[in-house]
């Protein structure tokens, strides 16, 4: 074990030599996937690409262990389900901090800098569910951090959706907090300010475009001069800046003009909608990266915020209630492979995940003998798409051009791969067969699932993954240390 640790540290050192671009990128690492990439591979992926800050949506043990001694700063999230308990019990808040923050800092060398209390708790669509509990939960977590001796090191925040502010004039200068939560927002901002903590906001130009058919497409991107909003002496050429400055105006107006702000999520999906494609995502994210690399602020605030990209990797189990695009926000596919090239500054190109293991190169497709009119097809497809992700088949998506037969094959294959190519997972009433010929065509990729070392049931997947950590470490070591 001692040797292993030694080798691991050596490799951390040689890791440091791989990245040559501009450091200081931040991203979100979500885990709502049937087959989350092994945490060590993800941490290596982040380091290889210059990410030195990460935001987690929950205090996931696998992710936190892997982040130990990595040099990556961590924002640990607390899901909204916890807010009521945290609000009603200081003791629970203390035990939460003890078990999910103090423990990882002291025992695993995790560089936790922020605790994100709740996730967009004031979103209008939640109908006020978390209005009473969020602020008390924030206060209890802050008290617990101070009690744990982490008051200086770890700051609290609440990732808020940009719908907590608005502008009656439609211009950024008219920005103020939403009227139904105005006083609550001021109390929260005051509390954060008193504790030297930042305000976190998620800004989504893609959603602006997606939800408004009249939204000017160019205005969603950065590298345009065509669409402009004139606000007094300021001219806005992109909605990101205008939206961010609406918040800055709200803060200025209420006496918090130096309140630090973090952009907790921003990004562009590659599938699941006609605006969600590789070209648009590349254009948006490259524009965003260029700003980050240049340290560009906005007209109303010259100091740039920390910006956490959403997201690092696709998550095939995210709710698609907001839209099919939800499962395609990753800069990387589910397996850590590259979707499109990005310049990370200094001409440094994005690199994909290393050491990923795959299942056999085989796919489940509709049997050539089966009839397209077979009455059991409908149930089979419904079944497949209930348990697997078929969002790439929808209108305007990467597989929408498939003919009926290939469409069905796609659904069958997604189920087969999601079930780890398990025996019996490609037997839809005898309508399917296994093939060794990759059925992918044009933009439509027929996946081969990553091999997590077993056929995990959803609940045992994570435990299994933990026990894989040592094995993967050794594999990584062999690969890395051979290279250098």
Ligand X SMILES: *[C@@H]1O[C@H](CO)[C@@H](O)[C@H](O)[C@H]1NC(C)=O
| Residues with a known catalytic role | 120, 265
Residue 99 is a binding residue for ligand X (CB under 6 A): yes
Stretch that binds ligand X, among 123-131, 310-318, 441-449, 452-460 (CB under 6 A): 123-131
Residue 91 binding ligand X, by CB under 6 A? no
Judged by CB, which is closer to ligand X: 190, or 405? Answer: 405
Q: Is 226 exposed, middle or buried (0-12, 13-18, 19+ CB in 10 A)?
A: exposed
Span interacting with ligand X, options 47-55, 122-130, 195-203, 262-270, rule CB under 6 A: 122-130
Q: Give the interface segment with ligand X, choosing from 91-99, 131-139, 361-369, 416-424 (CB under 6 A).
A: 91-99
**Which one of residues 100, 133, 200, 249 is an interface residue with ligand X (CB under 6 A)?**
100
Nearer Cβ to ligand X, position 100 or 249?
100
Q: Indicate the pairing of strand 73-78 with strand 111-117.
A: parallel
Tokens of 344: 């990370």
C-alpha to C-alpha distances, 430 to 82, 348, 361, 379, 398, nearest whole angstrom: 46, 49, 21, 13, 27
Choose, by CB under 6 A, the member of 6, 126, 387, 484 that binds ligand X: 126
Tell me which of 3, 17, 127, 179 binds ligand X, using CB under 6 A. 127
Q: Which of 267, 264, 391, 266 is nearest to 318 (CA)?
A: 391
Dump the DSSP string for 101-170. Answer: IIHHHHHH--EEEEEEESSSTT-GGGTTTTTTTHHHHHHHHHHHHHHTT-TTT-EEE-EEEGGGEEETTS
Q: How far is the CB of 26 from ligand X (least distance, A)?
A: 16
CB of 83 to ligand X, least distance (A): 12
Candidate segments 93-101, 203-211, 322-330, 452-460, binder of ligand X by CB under 6 A: 93-101
CB contact set of 416 (below 8 Å; sequence gap of 6+): 363, 364, 425, 426, 432, 434
**Of 85 and 173, which has the nearer Cβ to ligand X?**
85
Nearer to ligand X, 274 or 346 (CB): 346
444 contributes a contact to ligand X by CB under 6 A: no
Owner of token pair 């989350």: 36
* Whether the bond into 469 is cis, omega within 30 of 0: no
The DSSP 8-state label assigned to residue 273 in this structure reads: B
- CA dist 143 to 11, 254, 334, Å? 38, 25, 38
Q: Which of residues 40 and 391 has its CB atom nearest to ligand X in the complex?
A: 391
Binding mask 128-167 for ligand X (x = CB under 6 A): -x--------------------------------------
Please say whether the beta carbons of 174 and 249 come within 8 A: yes
Work out whether 283 is an interface residue with ligand X (CB under 6 A).
yes
First to last CA, the chain: 22
C-beta of 395: minimal distance to ligand X in Å?
A: 7
Residue ranges in 205-244 that form contacts with ligand X under rule CB under 6 A: 223
Which element (helix H / strand E) includes 286?
Answer: helix 278-294
Choices 34-42, 107-115, 121-129, 158-166 (CB under 6 A): range interacting with ligand X: 121-129
Interface mask (CB under 6 A) for ligand X, residues 398-427, using x and -?
------x--x--------------------
Q: In the window 348-387, what residues touch ligand X (CB under 6 A)?
A: 385
| Residue of 95, 106, 296, 441 that binds ligand X (CB under 6 A) | 95
Figure out which of the listed residues 7, 12, 22, 433 binds ligand X, where binding follows CB under 6 A.
Answer: 22
Among 96, 268, 363, 416, binds ligand X (CB under 6 A): 96
Secondary structure element (H or E) that encloses residue 209, with its range = helix 205-211
Could you give the 3-state DSSP secondary structure of residue 365? Answer: strand
Query: Helices 2-18 & 39-48, crossing angle to 10 degrees?
Result: 30
DSSP string for residues in 63-96: HHHHHTTSS-EEEEEE-GGGHHHHHH-HHHHHHH
DSSP character for 262? E
Give least dist CB 93 to ligand X, A.
Answer: 8
Q: Which is nearer to ligand X, 246 or 417 (CB)?
A: 417
Binding mask 29-68 for ligand X (x = CB under 6 A): -----------------------------xx---------
User: Which residues of this protein are in contact with ligand X, per CB under 6 A?
Assistant: 20, 22, 58-59, 92, 95-96, 99-100, 126-127, 129, 223, 283, 346, 385, 390, 393, 404, 407, 429-430
């Amino acid at each position: 074990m001692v040797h292993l640790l030694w080798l691991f540290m050596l490799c951390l050192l040689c890791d440091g030599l791989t990245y040559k671009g501009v450091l200081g990128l931040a991203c979100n690492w979500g885990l709502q996937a049937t087959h989350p990439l092994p945490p060590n591979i993800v941490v290596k992926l982040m380091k290889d690409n210059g990410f030195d800050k990460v935001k987690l949506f929950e205090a996931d043990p696998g992710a936190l262990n892997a982040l130990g001694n990595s040099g990556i700063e961590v924002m640990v999230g607390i899901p909204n389900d916890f807010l009521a308990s945290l609000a009603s019990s200081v003791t629970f808040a203390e035990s939460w901090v003890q078990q999910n923050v103090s423990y990882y800092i002291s025992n695993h060398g995790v560089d936790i800098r922020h605790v994100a209390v709740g996730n967009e708790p004031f979103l209008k669509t939640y109908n006020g569910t978390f209005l009473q509990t969020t602020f008390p939960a924030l206060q209890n977590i802050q008290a617990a951090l101070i009690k744990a001796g982490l008051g200086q090191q770890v700051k609290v925040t609440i990732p808020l959706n940009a719908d907590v502010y608005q502008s009656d004039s439609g211009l950024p200068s008219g920005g103020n907090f939403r009227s139904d939560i105005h006083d609550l927002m001021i109390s929260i901002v005051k509390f954060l300010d008193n504790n030297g903590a930042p305000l976190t906001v998620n800004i989504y130009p893609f959603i602006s475009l997606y939800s408004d058919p009249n939204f000017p497409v160019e205005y969603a991107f950065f590298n345009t001069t065509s669409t402009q909003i004139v606000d007094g002496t300021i001219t806005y050429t992109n909605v990101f800046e205008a939206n961010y400055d609406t918040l800055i105006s709200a803060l200025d107006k209420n006496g918090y003009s130096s309140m630090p702000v973090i952009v907790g999520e921003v990004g562009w999906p590659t599938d699941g909608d006609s605006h969600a494609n590789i070209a648009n995502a590349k254009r948006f994210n490259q524009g965003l990266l260029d700003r980050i690399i240049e340290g560009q602020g906005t007209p109303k605030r010259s100091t740039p915020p920390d910006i956490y990209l959403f997201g690092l990797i696709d998550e095939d189990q995210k709710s698609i209630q907001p839209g099919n695009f939800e499962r395609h926000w990753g800069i990387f596919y589910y397996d850590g492979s590259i979707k499109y090239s990005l310049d990370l500054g200094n001409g440094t190109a994005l690199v994909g995940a290393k050491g990923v293991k795959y299942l056999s190169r085989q796919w489940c497709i509709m049997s050539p003998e089966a009839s397209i009119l077979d009455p059991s097809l409908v149930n089979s497809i419904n079944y497949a798409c209930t348990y697997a992700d078929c969002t790439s088949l929808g209108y305007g998506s990467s597989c929408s051009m498939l003919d009926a037969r290939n469409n069905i094959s796609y659904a069958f294959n997604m189920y087969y791969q999601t079930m780890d190519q398990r025996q019996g997972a490609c037997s839809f009433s005898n309508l399917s067969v296994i093939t060794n010929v990759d059925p992918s065509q044009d933009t439509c990729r027929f996946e081969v699932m990553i091999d997590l070392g077993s056929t995990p049931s959803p609940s045992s997947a994570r435990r299994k993954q933990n026990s894989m950590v040592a094995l993967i470490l050794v594999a990584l070591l062999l690969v890395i240390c051979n290279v250098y």
